[in-house]
C-alpha cells in the first residue's frame, strides 16, 4: 500500500535507537525525508546517514536547543509535515522513594520536552497547511503501573497534550494521535533502552514474582491474547500510517498496541 508520504518531511525525536530508529526507517521506506533528532549526535547521524536524511542533536527540555534543531531542518528541507515525539525516560520506584531529581528529570524530558517540540513544530505545520503530530506514549498511559508512578503520570500528561492538540489544530489540517505500546523487550542491535535499566527490571520482576527479565516477559506474554510481546516494528508501522494522508480522519485518539492485553 502506498501511504502517500513521498517528499513529506518528518522529524523523529529520540530517533537514534530502538522505537525511534524503527519509526525513522519505516517513514523513509514510505518515501518521507527524515530528520533524526537524538541527544547523542553520533546516534542521530548514524541513522540519518543510512536514510539520506539529516541528524541533529538537542536536549528537548531546552526550548532554545529545540528551536535551533528545527531551524536546521528548515534549512535542509524547507518544510515540516510530520513530527513524532518519541523521547522519554523511565525512572522506576515506589512513591516514597521518589527523589526531587527524579521528579525534575521526568518533568524536563517527558513533559517539558514534548511541549517544547510541539510548540516549535506547530507554526511550521500550519505554514505547510497540513501536518501530523504523533506521540509515543505507553500502556502505562492507558492503565497506570505500580512502581512507575512518575512514568505513568508523565504518559497520562502526554495523552492529554495529544488530545488537546488534536482538538485545537484539527481545523488546520493537522491531526494529533498517541500510540500506546505495551512492553517492548530488547530486540536486535538497537534495543529499546528502558529494559537495560536494572532497577526497572527489578521493580517489574518483584511485581510479577519472578527473578529475571526472561521470566517476566514469558509471564506477561502468556497473559496477552495475541501470544507475543509488542515489537518496535508494530509501533513503526502504525506511526507511518498515522503520518499518512490516509489517516486524515483519525484525530485526538489514543491507540493501544498491545495484542489485547489492555482492552479498551
Tens of pLDDT, residue by residue over 212-229, are 999 999 999 999 999 999
Write out pLDDT tens, residues 117-163.
999 999 999 999 999 999 999 999 999 999 999 999 999 999 999 99
- Kindly list the catalytic residues: 151
What pLDDT does 190 receive? 47
Q: pLDDT below 50 — which residues of the chain?
A: 189-190
Q: What does the pLDDT read at residue 192?
A: 53
Question: Could you tell me the pTM of the whole model?
Answer: 0.96
C-alpha cell at 65: 536547543
CATH ID of 9-192+229-257, from 3.40.50.720, 1.10.490.10, 3.40.50.300, 1.10.30.50: 3.40.50.720
In this prediction, residue 186 carries a pLDDT of: 84
CA-CA distance, 233 to 240, in Å (whole number)?
10
Which three-class secondary structure string do you get for 61-121? CCHHHHHHHHHHHHHHHCCCCEEEECCCCCCCECHHHCCHHHHHHHHHHHHHHHHHHHHHH
Give the whole-angstrom CA distance, residue 195 versus residue 245.
Answer: 34
Rounded Cα–Cα distance for residues 81 and 8 (Å): 6
One DSSP character per residue, 106-165 reads HIIIIIIHHHHHHHHHHHHHHHHT-EEEEEE--GGGTS--TTBHHHHHHHHHHHHHHHHH
Dist. CA 83–CA 108, nearest whole Å: 19
Amino acid at each position: 500500500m502506498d501511504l502517500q508520504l513521498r517528499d513529506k518531511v518528518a522529524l523523529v525525536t529520540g530517533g537514534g535507537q530502538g522505537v525511534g530508529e524503527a519509526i525513522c526507517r519505516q517513514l523513509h521506506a514510505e518515501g518521507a525525508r527524515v530528520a533524526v533528532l537524538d541527544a547523542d549526535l553520533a546516534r542521530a547521524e548514524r541513522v540519518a546517514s543510512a536514510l539520506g536524511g539529516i541528524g541533529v542533536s538537542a536536549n528537548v527540555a531546552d526550548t532554545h536547543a529545540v528551536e535551533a534543531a528545527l531551524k536546521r531542518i528548515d534549512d535542509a528541507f524547507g518544510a515540516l509535515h510530520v513530527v513524532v515525539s518519541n523521547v522519554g525516560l523511565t525512572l522506576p520506584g515506589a512513591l516514597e522513594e521518589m527523589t526531587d531529581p527524579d521528579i525534575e528529570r521526568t518533568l524536563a524530558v517527558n513533559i517539558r520536552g514534548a511541549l517544547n517540540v510541539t510548540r516549535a513544530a506547530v507554526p511550521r505545520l500550519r505554514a505547510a497547511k497540513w501536518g501530523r503530530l504523533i506521540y509515543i506514549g505507553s500502556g502505562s498511559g492507558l492503565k497506570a503501573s505500580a512502581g512507575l508512578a512518575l512514568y505513568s503520570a508523565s504518559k497520562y500528561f502526554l495523552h492529554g497534550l495529544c488530545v488537546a492538540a488534536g482538538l485545537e489544530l484539527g481545523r488546520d489540517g493537522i491531526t494529533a494521535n498517541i500510540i500506546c505500546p505495551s512492553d517492548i523487550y530488547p530486540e536486535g542491535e538497537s534495543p529499546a533502552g528502558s529494559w537495560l535499566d536494572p532497577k526497572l527490571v527489578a521493580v517489574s520482576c518483584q511485581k510479577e514474582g519472578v527473578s529475571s527479565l526472561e521470566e517476566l516477559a514469558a509471564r506477561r506474554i502468556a497473559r496477552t491474547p495475541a501470544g507475543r510481546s509488542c515489537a518496535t516494528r508494530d509501533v513503526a508501522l502504525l506511526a507511518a500510517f498515522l503520518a499518512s494522508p490516509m489517516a486524515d480522519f483519525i484525530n485526538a485518539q489514543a491507540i493501544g498496541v498491545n495484542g489485547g492485553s489492555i482492552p479498551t
